[in-house]
Amino acid sequence: ETGVTQSPTHLIKTRGQQVTLRCSSQSGHNTVSWYQQALGQGPQFIFQYYREEENGRGNFPPRFSGLQFPNYSSELNVNALELDDSALYLCASSLDLEKYNEQFFGPGTRLTVL
């Protein structure tokens, strides 16, 4: 196990609803990144947080937003859910910026939008 946990494991929502996904970083890790992985595809970078500030963002609309808390845990919020938002959402934590070889992924949250 990586020490990165995510909740919930699975989630079913309907189109137009809002969802919050949670991630607990590995102890001491101050950097968290979120990814969306559609079925049969590679993960797509959503954004990264470093010490509670957004530090980079992929090609995702503003209805995807995030937070990082003082204990470095993190949330991903998605508003106005669309069918195409159905995917596995992964978070990954690392000890510091650019420590990608020490980035550990959680098991993901499987979101289904009906």
Partner 1 sequence: GESVGLHLPTLSVQEGDNSIINCAYSNSASDYFIWYKQESGKGPQFIIDIRSNMDKRQGQRVTVLLNKTVKHLSLQIAATQPGDSAVYFCAEIENTGNQFYFGTGTSLTVIP
Nearer to partner 1, 8 or 16 (CB): 8
- Work out whether 44 is an interface residue with partner 1 (CB under 8 A): yes
* Separation between Cα atoms, residue 20 and residue 26, nearest integer Å: 20
The answer to whether 67 and 75 are in contact (CB under 8 A) is yes
Nearer to partner 1 (CB atom), residue 3 or residue 16: 3
Task: Tell me: does residue 3 bind partner 1 (CB under 8 A).
Answer: no
Q: Residue 74's closest CA among 62, 86, 64, 85?
A: 64
Strand-pair category, 109-113 with 10-13: parallel
- Pick 27 or 101: Cβ nearer partner 1: 101
Return residues touching partner 1 (CB under 8 A).
Answer: 2, 4, 33, 35, 40-45, 48, 55-56, 58-59, 90, 92, 97-98, 100-108
